[in-house]
Amino acid sequence: MRIVVKVGTSTLAHAGGRMNIRRIEKLCKVLSDLKNAGNEIVLVSSGAIGMGVGKLSLGEKPSDIPTKQAAAAVGQCELMYTYDKLFTEYNHTVAQVLLVKSDIDNEHRRSNFHNTMSRLLELGALPIINENDTVSTEEIVIGDNDTLSAIVAVETNADLLVLLSDIDGLYTADPHKNADARLIEEVREISPEILALAGGAGSKLGTGGMETKLRAAQMATEAGTDMIIANGENPDILYNIVDNIPFGTRFYSCK
């Protein structure tokens, strides 16, 4: 299987932005093992801004774009350094790919992206993708890695897109506010009723919320890729997901 796994800042970092070492170690171990079992893995990783905030001791996510971009530039290094170190322990080679929206909108650059990704996967490397926050300005920004991961899943013809987040999946109501909220295990059609369940924003350091995840689900399923939203707290669940054991919320592709 070709699987795109997107991991959010809330999964990778502690509340202050510093890296959650135990979590990232576990994630790299499971992904390495899934790769050893013959799956192709593409990782879309957030956390650059969050980790830059931690490393620069900024205290909280900045609101102005230049400081966000500076934080991302610092944090992206820490992210890739850590991924390289951890995946190397399991004998896997990582590749950094940074994208902006205009890369996808431009036919020529999009085709370059395709070619590089195909070649990286043929060579057995593990591409780790993030938005190129340093040069993304407000007008050309993809803005959130949920959307970016859906673009990547569509462009690479992935079999499955998994969004690991700090929530178990899509609920019938906000589970933080409503005790009767129930997890929806399967979505076969992203109807207006489903879209209406989006609720508000995400965590303090992350960017997306349920709205961007549902948009990602729409893009992925329309292109023939199933998508799962699951809690990234315990990366072991990826084994279950690959074994087709129901977990989180699964959005079935329209094809």
The binding site for ligand GLU (CB under 6 A) comprises 8-9, 46-50, 72, 130-131, 133, 144-145, 206-208
Q: Between 145 and 249, name the residue whose CB sits nearer to ligand GLU.
A: 145
Q: In the block, which residue shows the tokens 């199933």?
A: 226
Distance CA 2, CA 165 (A): 20
CB of 89 vs ligand GLU, minimal distance in Å: 23
CB of 212 vs ligand GLU, minimal distance in Å: 7
Q: Between 103 and 133, name the residue whose CB sits nearer to ligand GLU.
A: 133
CB of 227 vs ligand GLU, minimal distance in Å: 15
CB distance 238 to 43 below 8 Å:
no
Q: Between 16 and 224, name the residue whose CB sits nearer to ligand GLU.
A: 16
CB of 245 vs ligand GLU, minimal distance in Å: 27
Phi, psi of 111 (to 5 degrees): -70, -35
Phi, psi of 130 (to 5 degrees): -145, 165
Q: Between 49 and 187, name the residue whose CB sits nearer to ligand GLU.
A: 49
Strand order in the sheet with 2-7: 94-99, 126-131, 40-45, 2-7, 160-165, 226-231, 249-251, 186-187
Strand partners, 97: 129
CB distance 145 to 131 below 8 Å:
yes
Q: Between 33 and 166, name the residue whose CB sits nearer to ligand GLU.
A: 166
CB of 72 vs ligand GLU, minimal distance in Å: 6
Distance CA 243, CA 84 (A): 27
Q: Between 138 and 193, name the residue whose CB sits nearer to ligand GLU.
A: 138
Query: Exposure pattern of 94-121 as b/e (b: 16+ CB <10 Å)?
Result: bbebbbbbebbeeeeebeebeeebeebb
CB of 67 vs ligand GLU, minimal distance in Å: 13
